[in-house]
């Protein structure tokens, strides 16, 4: 299971959840099966039920799937720690991506040519042994165009 913690809200305790699968779609974080929307991004914070949390922490043995679950692109190596503070996403405490609200997408911090509309955080055993993990820093996508 993936331990998800929403922390840092003023006058509210931290919230801890255990989930097998979490989807990050633009500025929304949700579990489509059990809880629905966990939090959504508003002005530098992650809001859940009208409480604003600056940070979300994901812990456990998990992998990131990029793209649609039925047609994923790269799959990460096993990970244990993912942290989102404001618009920044960190993998094992290293900057990985930044949420760009105007595009409703995540932009890579190491290579700004990398863009993702969605991530899936899944337990490590969700991905079969025959699925191969790839080096995420080598994937290059064109930046999205904004529709007028």
At 89-110, the pLDDT tens digits run 999 889 999 999 999 999 999 8
Residue 69 has pLDDT above 80, yes or no: no
What ranges in 5-148 are assigned the alpha helix state H?
Answer: none
- State the Rg of the chain over Cα: 15
Tally of CB atoms within 10 A around 130: 5
The tokens 């904004």 sit on which residue? 146
Q: Mean per-residue pLDDT for 54-79?
A: 84
Helices (H), ranges, 53-125: none
More confident residue, 34 or 10: 10
Q: Where are the domains of the chain?
A: 2-138
pLDDT in tens, 104-133: 999 999 888 889 898 899 998 877 544 554
């Amino acid at each position: 299971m993936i331990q998800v913690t929403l922390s840092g809200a003023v006058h509210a305790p931290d919230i801890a959840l255990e989930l097998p699968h979490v989807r990050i779609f633009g500025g929304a974080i949700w579990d489509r099966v059990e809880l629905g929307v966990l939090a959504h991004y508003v002005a530098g914070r992650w809001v859940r039920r009208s409480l604003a949390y600056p940070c979300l922490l994901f812990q456990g043995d998990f992998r990131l799937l990029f793209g649609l679950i039925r047609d994923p692109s790269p799959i990460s190596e096993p990970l244990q720690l993912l942290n989102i503070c404001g618009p920044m996403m960190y993998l094992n405490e290293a900057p990985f991506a930044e949420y760009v609200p105007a595009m409703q997408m995540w932009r890579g911090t190491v290579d700004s040519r990398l863009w993702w509309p969605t991530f899936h955080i899944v337990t490590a055993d969700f991905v079969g042994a025959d699925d191969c993990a790839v080096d995420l820093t080598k994937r290059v996508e064109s930046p999205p165009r904004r529709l007028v």
